[in-house]
Structure formats: C-alpha cells, structure tokens
Structure 1
Amino acid sequence: MADFGDVISALGEFGLYQQLLILLLSLPLLLNPFQMVGQVFMVLDVPHHCDTSWIRAVGPNLTQEEQLNLTLPRDADGEYEQCSMYSPVDWDLDSIVAHGLNATQKCSSGWVYPSAEPPSLLTEFDLVCERTILNDISQSIYMAGLLIGAMFFGVLSDRIGRRPVILICMLLQGMFGLGTAFVPHFYVYMAIRFVVGAAVSGIMITVVALGTEWVGVSFRPQSVLIAQAAYPIGMMMVAGLSYGIRNWRLLEIVGSAPMFLLFFYIWVLPESARWLVTKGRIEEAKKLLQKAAATNKRSLPEGLLEQLKPEKQTKSGSLLDLFRKKHLRKVTLIMSCTWFADSFVYYGLSLNVTGFGLDIYMTQLAFGAVEFPGRVCLIFLLEWFGRKKVQAIFLMLSGLMCLILTGIPEDQPVAITVLAIIGKFTATTAFAASYVYTAELFPTVVRQSGMGLCSTMARVAGILAPLIIPLDQYHRAIPMAVFGSIPLLVSLSCIMLPETRGVSLPDDTGKGKTPAEKEKTGEVLREFSKSDTREDEADLEKNN
C-alpha cells in the first residue's frame, strides 16, 4: 500500500499546481485584516459636546459661542466638558444671563460633532461618554465570533472537507461584511460583526490545513507562511485605505466587497486529496492527483495510484479523540497553551506599543511592516533549526522583551519603543510558527478539530489581554510582567513536543508507523521508479 507522501513526491512536492493553490489561499488572507482592525479607524475620537439647543427657544439670536458659554461647564483646563451640561431651566434669557446655571447633568439630547467631520461609527451611533463601552463590547463580540468560528468550522472542516468550509466562510465574510455598511442600529452592527468574526476565523485555520496537505514534507513551512505573508500586506493596505476613505460606510463597502471577486473559487479551488483518501473517497482523490501531476508536468504510474488506499485503522476522528489518546492529549494541551501564550503576548504588545510618535495610520503601517519579515524569515528558520526549537525560542524571547520593558524608566521612550518592536517581531514569529507546527502535529482526521481548539484558546487570550492593561493603575510594571511571564513559562513546555521537521504528516489518530513500516511504504515509489526505468531501457533497445 502506497503512502500518500510517496504520491506527493511523484507528482511534485511544490510544483506549479501547489504554487497556484498557495496563491489562491493567500487572497482571502489579504482581505481579512480589514475585518480584524478596520473598526479602529471608524471610531477615531473627535471633539464633541452635549446638544444644548434647548436654549434656542428663549434665545434664538445667540451666537454659537454664547450658547456654549451659557449651557456648558468647563473642565480644569478651561475646555468645555464633553459629557455634561447645565440642566435646562424654564427661565427667560435675561435671568439665565444674570444668574447663570449651576446644576449639571449628563447629556440628555445627544451630542454635537464638528460638521466638517465625515460620518464615523463614533458620530453616527454616539459612541462617546458613557456609550464608549459599546465600542469595547463590539470588539469583544467580534473576538467571541472568532472563538466560535474556530471551534465550529474546525470540526466542520474535518467532517465535510476543507474546500466547502473555505467557500462557506468566504461567502459569509463577503455578505455580512458588506451588510455592516447598511445597518440602522449599532446593536445590529455588533450581531453582524459576530458572524464576520466566525467566518474570518474559519478561513484562517482552514487555509493552513489545505495548504499543508497538498505539499511535500520539506515545503510545509513555505506553503503556510507564504500564504500568511499576505496578512501583513493586508494590514498595511488597511492603513492606506482608511486614510483615504473617512466615511465609515463607504470604507466598509470598499473593504468587504472585494471578497465577491473571488467567486471563481467555486470552480478552481481543490479539495484536499489527503483528506479524501482518509474518507475513503479514493476515486475523487485520484482525479485531483492526476490533475496536479499534469499541471506539474509529471506522470503518475497507474500502479502507484492503485496502491493508494486508506489504512484499515483510519476512521473519522472527533474532538474527543484529541483527549482519548495519550500522545494526542499531550500535544493538544501543550499546543493549546502555546496558542494562548502566542495570542496573549501578541495582543499585549500591540495594545501597549504607543511610543512611536506617529499618528494611527503610520502606526498601523509600522505594525504590518514589522510582521512581514517575521513570517518570511521563519520559512528558513524552521528548516534550519526545526519546529520545536524555533517555537520555544521565539515564544521565550517575546516574553523576555515584556519582562525587560518592566525595568525601563518611563522617561526612556526610544528604548521602550525599540524593545516593543523587537517583542512584536518575536511574538509574530512565534504565532506564525504555531500554525505550521500545529498542522504537522495533528493527524489528518482531526487536524482541523485540533487547529480549531488551539485557535479557540488564542481567542480567549485575545479577549483577556485588554483586561490586563488597566492593572497599570496599581503599578506600571504589572501588565508587562503578566504578558511576559506566561509565554516564558509556556515556552519551557514546548520541550516535551515531538519534532516534525522532515516527518510525513500523520493521517490517523494512532501513534504512527514504525520505522520498518515507513521504510516499506517508501519502497513503493522506488519500485515504480525502477519499473519505469526498465521499461524506458527496453523501449530504447527495441528502437535501436
């Protein structure tokens, strides 16, 4: 019986077919950053004050400045209060001018914003003063969507396949992303953002599995990281897009509609042939493998495909299998903690890197620029040093950078910024390494379930990270100490993980083949190669 890795070697481990597939997988990731960070640019703070037009009933000829002087209190800096006003009274204008107003209250008739400002989420839905929390809640709801999407679409992908899940998630992201541009209420906006978050999460984890399962052993990091390199490019594009388009509804349309341009994926995106084999759908797998071989200008021996059969012990996996098997339980627990630590330090640093001295658009551009080289250099590091060492070292370095930041005085902004950028680089690299490593550790039948569970832990960390930052009111070093200690401790547990560099992907939930079994399956391809060589020599002698 031929091993699937032998077939991939015969048709080409990273030929034109796989390269085109990685290109297809990278395009949705290019569009995902808008959904992840786009809201930041729609809720930019603008000057505002309470609507006090009630005084116009008794003083219609008042100038704007006179109206504000009479109806708004001032803060300690002499500026008008943004969230309070003098309580309305039933006096005439002369009495108000003579005695003034003293009693204050919260804004009762809404707020007034600069007329020159284009409409934003903040101004249209009054996300100011006591309503500011709605913006934070909406971000938490989006993160909850990412969490649910990771679990739901991870399991669904193992059941119905990688291709349909990607197509479903792309459709959901396009439809609901575009739908946010037409919401009448902010509560509707939050509900739609939940669905968008689930779709984004489904795309991110399924792309990893599909890209990994189509390439040879030595090209797995390239397949994942080249596709993911589109993500930081998308982050930089968001900065330019948001800078040029300040109307939030138009920005939503421009950021979400391009997903519909990928409708042709229905016809060109292939299913994972490896997944088809594990499901017993051998004929479908053979057709895809022959098409891949033809695209790569390779010929597959017919006998080799006939040898391609699912192992007798290979059966559909479930989420419970991740904990039933001892070796899978260890991998699941350690990688879940690793993803939690990756996300925890990543968001912790992202929310604390405020010392750039740049505006929000330049800061976003810098974030994307930092992430791109982190993913690219990882392609080489994983092959040179192996998955386990790279995962552990970069996770440890990201934690160390946070701990070092706790000892830097506040009056050293340059040093803080440099260390924070280094920490962001190492955190990004550690996070990207987790995608590659996790896809290689879990068997095909539960790969997406495992990825979904790990991604869920990352989303939990993303929700918790903003809650740690307010602890700086007790001591400025507490948040960075927490963000640094967790990845540092988790990095030590990575030592117990197996190395996967140069190892074939496991298909079932067993411990894998023995060395003798691997050697036996490896001889299948060599035997067909020898057979082809003998036939070629016989044809040559006959012609001569």
Structure 2
Amino acid sequence: MELHGEDGIEKAIGRFGRYQAWILFLITLARLPGEFQLSNVVFLLPKADYTCLDDGVNNATNYCPCQNPEFDTSTIVTSITSDFQLICNKKSWASLSQSMLQVGVGAGSLIYGFISDRYGRRVAVLLALFCNALFGALSSLSTQLWMFMMCRFLSGFALGGTMLCCFVMMIELSGKSFRPYMMGLAEIAYVCGYIILPIIAYFVREWKQLQLVTCAPWFIVVLYYWLIPESPRWLITVGKKKEAVVVLTNIAKRNNRPVENIEAIVDQIEAESIPKDPQQRTGSYADLFKTSKIRMYSILTPLVWTSCTLIYTGINQYIGRLQGNIYLNVLLSAAALTPAPVLIVIASLYLKRKISVITCFAITGSALLVFLIIPKNMESTILAFAIIGQIGGFGAFVLTYLFTSEIFPTIIRNSAMGMCSTFGRIGGFIAPFVVNIGIEWVSILIFSSVAICAAALCWMLPETNDIILLNSIEQTEIAHSTKGKKTNKKTISNELPLDCKLPTSLN
C-alpha cells in the first residue's frame, strides 16, 4: 500500500509553520494545571513522619495504632496525609486517593475520545483545558477526604481529555514529516510542569494553597474559544468540506503559503480516502472490534498502555519516597527528563517505531533489576538508577502515544486512544498499591517484569514509521494485510472499495 506518499494536509499548510507553533504554545501553556495534578501527589500525599502522643507510647515515632499523631512539619506544613491522618490502618485510603486521579483519567479518556470523534477536536480540547483548572482549584476547598477524592477524580477526568485530545489535535494539524518532532514538542508541557512544580511546592508548603496557585490562574483559558481552530483532518473525515477549506486557507495564509489549490486538495483527499456514506464517516468503540487487524490492535495496544502507566506512575511515586530532600529529588528527576523529548525525536526519526518503544521498555526493566542489587547506603546511585528507569518509562509512554495514533485510522483514532488511555489508567490505579506493598524488592520486581512483558507485546504490532495517517478502517485493513507482499500501487488501489481509494501524489 502507498503509505509513504505525499500528505495532502502537509501540501496545503506545510508540515509545521508559524501558526502551528502558535497553537502549540497556547496548548502547552494551558496544559500546565493538568501536568501539575499529574505530578503533585508526592507533595499532597507524602509519606509523613509523626510522633505518637497517645498515653503509654512514650512519643514513639511512626507508631501504630495511633489516635493522636503530631506530624513533622519541617518539610511539608500540611498535606492530605496529615489533615486527614492517613496513617496506620488508613494508609489504604492514601493509596486510593492517589489512584482516584487515574480512575478519572480512564473515564475521561473514554468520554472525551467519544466527544472528540463525534463532535470535533476543538470542543473536546476547550472543555478539557478549562475543567483541568476548575476542578484542581475546587479541590482546595475540600473539608472531607471524600470531597478531595471526588475533585481528584474530576481533575483526572479532565486530564484524560487534555492528554488525549490535545495530542491528537496537534498531530492532525501537522504534516506527516513533522510528526516525530511533534512527539517531542508535545511533551514540553509535562516536562515544564514537572520541573516547575517542586519549585512552587518549596515556597508553598500547604496543600490547599498549592492547589490554588497551580490551577486558579489558568481560568484564562476561556479566551481560547476564539483562538483554537478545528482539526481540518477531522472536518474532511466527517464530510464538512467547506469548513475544512476555510480552516486550511486561514492556516495557509498565516504560514505564507499559497491558497489557490486548497479546495482541489480537499476534494482529492475526500474522493480518495473518505467513505461516501455519511454513516461511515463517524466511528464508534464498536468499530474497534469489527475487523480482524483493528481487533488485534485493539487488544494489544491497551495492554501496552496499561504497562506504561503502571511502570511510569509507580517509579514517579517511588522517587518521592527515596531518602534525601523531597524537593531536590523530584527536581533532579524532572531535570533528568529535560533531554528526553530530544531523544524521543531522534528515536522517532532514525529508529523504527517498534524498536524505539521496545528499547525504552528494555532500559526500564534493566535499570530496575540493577536497582535491586545496589546497597542501601548508596543513596545517590539508587536515585540515579531510579531516574534511568523513569526516563525509559517516560520514553515508552510518549512513544506509545505516537505509535497508537499512527496504527489507528482517523475515523476511530480518538476512540482508540481513549480506550487505550482508559486501560492505561488501570496500571496507574494499581501503581500506588504496588509501591505500598511494603517489600521493596517485590515492588521493583513487579515493575521490571511488566516492562519486559510489554516489550514482547510490541513485537506483534505493525511498524508505522513515516506513514501517512490513514483515514478509514478499510484503508488500514488492506494496508496492513498487504504489508510485506510484493504488490504495486495499482494492484493495491484496485483492492480498495471505490469509496476508499488511497492518497496519490498531488503534484
């Protein structure tokens, strides 16, 4: 199949111009509250030391059971752990409170995936960005643990939409040849948020104030209603050709590109790859299991996502429990991720997609195995290998986003991403309980084993490096069924339904 031809959208607006850079800046800025919520658990729910003031205990440290704990406030003044006394037999509530964000992300990914595919990328992005700031700020008003957990769930719900829909929108606004770069650029928000958070937390040591400072200022995203466009790829896919021409013309003008042939380009894309039956232009979750290839991918990719989130979330929380200054440990682990987007871009450009993901999983699994044999008194070495494992997990997580978005066609791309993200949150939900098992080597061995299993699953997925984003299920089935066979472009094109011809050169 001709997967490596010219991308019509790229021909119309360029692979990545000034306008796409402007949209990327706006989305990166607006994503920060969600990125803060993703990383702030080490400050909201830390492992807090306390002195037990119960009669007959003689002021023992971290003694259980304890009815009157006096928490150490030298590092963190107030936290969810101290305010609601999540110690001893209440420790499981701390793990559950951490996991509620992941539960919300899973549910949000499903709902926002549906909204994005059915009603458009723009409405989903705007709603998710605003709700990220709203529910993060509202959590500061919690006077009961259940109120915090509900706000945590709703924050995760919005975060699921942000992580999914913002990524897909930027991928669809970019040309095929720029996708590897976009993969790294899309993670600037997370890395910046991860670096900025411990600095803010160092000066704002009460959890309620921390939530307000990191969320309330971002209510300004309501102005994005007039700034963010709809995805032209989505508009073409659902048959809104005129709207797509308007959006593409506006972007082309901003990028100083010719606009005379845009309508012809849209006509050709629509004629060659979009089903003529309007009912086939919108996908659903059921479509993920109707055909053989898509069904296999819909089974394997969620398992890979579950592994990614279990590994990365677990390591991220584990670093916050290591010996030493919590602010410095988190800042160092965040700083170590700074070159990761660049390395991810290099891997996307020069390595096959599967090899890149598998390599990242292998790095994580190996680093964690070494972690097990390091003497406990070598704190710096322990931190270093934990960070290496974190970098590998981060790389696998990010590359899996790109990998998945390229495997599935436009008509069900967000639904597929939403389903995968939802399954991924199962891993995120389990991670705090694995970290809190209490036997360190068991926790680390679980994370390492999962990384190795995920690498094995990736071998069964198709290679997607440098392909044009496919639009229909029929295209995907035929493309991956003919992969590796000696077939020419004419033969494969004849195999396609008449309403689903492949993109050809637009010259």
Structure-1 residue corresponding to 2:153? 194
Equivalent of 1:465, from 428, 431, 438?
431
Where does residue 385 of structure 2 map in the other structure?
Answer: 419
Unmatched 5+ residue regions in structure 2? 480-488, 495-500
**In the alignment, does 2:55 pair up with 1:41?**
no
1:302-339 C-alpha deviation (Å, 9 max, x unpaired): 43344442333652111121121111122222221211
Please state how far the C-alpha of 1:25 moved relative to its aligned partner.
2.1
Counterpart of 1:394?
A: 360
Q: How does 1:204-243 map to 2 (within 5 A)?
A: 204-243=163-202
Could you tell me which of 440, 446, 450 is aligned with 1:482?
446
Counterpart in 1 of 2:31? Answer: 29
Q: Is the 8 A contact 1:374 1:426 kept in 2?
A: no
Amino acid of the structure 1 residue aligned with 2:286: L
1:33-182 → structure 2 map (5 Å cutoff):
33-44=35-46, 45=48, 47-50=50-53, 72-74=55-57, 79=60, 107=67, 118-182=77-141
Matches of 2:61 and 2:193, distance apart in 1: 40
1:343 aligns with 2:345: no
Contact 1:33 1:234 in 2 (8 A): yes
Number of the residue aligned with 1:20: 22
Rounded to whole Å, the distance in 2 between the matches of 1:19 and 1:351 is 33
TM-score with structure 2 setting the length:
0.86
Output the CA distance in 2 between the equivalents of 1:375 and 1:392: 17
The corresponding residue for 1:99 is none
Whole-Å separation in 2 of the counterparts to 1:127 and 1:354: 17
Measured in 2, the distance between the counterparts of 1:518 and 1:194 equals 47
2:264 aligns with 303
Distance 2:380 2:330 in 1: 18
Match of 1:246 among 205, 225, 244: 205
Structure 1 residue aligned with 2:506, among 525, 530, 537?
525
Bigger radius of gyration among the two: 1
1:315 aligns with 2:274: no
Q: 1:505 aligns to what?
A: 469
State the identity as a percent. 28
Secondary structure in 1 aligned to 2:115? Answer: helix
Q: State the Cα deviation string for residues 130-180 of structure 1 (Å, max 9, x = none).
A: 444433222122221111111221122111111111111122222222211
Deviations 1:317-371 (A, max 9, x none): 1112112111112222222121122122213323434686531111111221122
- Note the residue ranges of structure 1 that are not aligned, 5 or more in a row: 51-70, 85-105, 527-544
Q: Which residue of 2 aligns with 1:59?
A: none
Looking at structure 2, the residues matched to 491 and 315 of structure 1 have their Cα atoms a distance apart, in angstroms, of: 34
Are the equivalent residues in 2 in contact too, given 1:340–1:458 (CA < 8 A)? Answer: yes
Deviates more, 1:165-174 or 1:501-510: 165-174
Do the aligned partners of residues 478 and 127 (structure 1) sit closer, same or farther apart at CA in structure 2, a change above 3 Å counting?
A: closer
Distance in 1 between residues matched to 2:248 and 2:425, nearest whole Å: 36
CA contact (8 A) 1:349 1:424 kept: yes
Contact 1:73-1:81 at 8 Å conserved across structures: no
Q: How far is the alpha carbon of 1:256 from its aligned partner?
A: 0.9
User: What is the rounded CA distance, in whole Å, between the counterparts of 1:113 and 1:407 in structure 2?
Assistant: 33
In structure 2, the CA distance between the partners of 1:306 and 1:478, relative to structure 1 (3 Å rule), is closer
Determine the C-alpha separation between the residues in 2 that align with 1:363 and 1:48. Answer: 24
Per the alignment, residue 61 of structure 1 pairs with: none
Aligned positions, number: 477
In the alignment, the residues of structure 2 paired with residue 46 and residue 261 of structure 1 have an alpha-carbon distance, to the nearest angstrom, of: 38
Residues 230-279 of structure 1, C-alpha deviations (whole Å, 9 max, x = no match): 21111111101111112322222111112212221100111111011111
Secondary structure of 1:496's partner? Answer: coil
Alignment partners' CA distance in 2, 1:82 and 1:148: 38
Equivalent residues of 2:121, 2:230 under 8 A apart: yes
* Structure 1 residues 42 and 315: CA distance shift in structure 2, 3 A: closer
Q: Which of 267, 281, 291 is 1:325 aligned to?
A: 291
Matched residues in 1 for 2:194 and 2:162: separation?
17
Residue from 255, 266, 280 that aligns with 2:214: 255
CA distance in 2, matches of 1:128, 1:294: 60
CA distance in structure 1 between the aligned counterparts of 2:392 and 2:142, rounded to whole angstroms? 39
Hey, what does 1:58 align to over in structure 2?
Answer: none
Matched residue type, 1:400: S
Per-residue Cα deviation, 1:33-57 (whole angstroms, up to 9, x for no partner): 221232432345254545xxxxxxx
Q: Deviations over 1:5-37 (max 9, x none)?
A: 223223211111211122222123323222123
Q: Which residue of 2 aligns with 1:383?
A: 349
In structure 1, the residue matched to 2:244 is: 285
- Matched with 2:399 is 433
Offset of 1:282 from its aligned partner?
A: 0.9
Give the distance between the partners of 2:367 and 2:349, measured in 1 at CA.
25
Aligned residue for 1:270, secondary structure, equals coil
**Contact between 1:72 and 1:80, CA under 8 Å: does it hold in 2?**
no
Does 256-265 or 409-418 show the bigger shift? 409-418
Give the whole-Å Cα distance in 2 for the aligned partners of 1:334 and 1:285.
33
Deviations 1:483-510 (A, max 9, x none): 1122212212322222222211011111
Which sits farther off after the overlay, 212-221 or 416-425? 416-425
Amino acid at match of 1:304: I
Give the Å deviation of 1:408.
Answer: 3.8
Question: Is residue 4–residue 308 contact of structure 1 (8 Å, CA) maintained in 2?
Answer: no
| Amino acid of the structure 2 residue aligned with 1:180 | S
Q: Partners in 2 of 1:226 and 1:259 — Cα distance?
A: 21
Aligned to 1:539: none
Residues of 2 paired with 1:9 and 1:160: CA distance?
26
- Structure-2 change in CA distance of 1:169 and 1:407 (3 Å): same
Secondary structure class of the residue paired with 1:477: helix
Q: 1:21 to 1:458 in 2, by over 3 A?
A: same
Task: Work out the CA distance in 1 between the residues paired with 2:79 and 2:380.
Answer: 33
What is the aligned counterpart of 1:491 among 445, 455, 459?
455
Pairwise CA distance, 1:197: 0.9
SS of the counterpart of 2:40?
Answer: helix
* Rounded Cα–Cα distance in structure 1 between residues aligned with 2:119 and 2:357: 31
CA contact (8 A) 1:322 1:329 kept: yes
For 1:65, the equivalent position in structure 2 comes to none
CA shift for structure 1 position 123: 4.2
C-alpha distance in 2 between matches for 1:19 and 1:329: 35
More divergent stretch after superposition (513-522 vs 20-29): 513-522
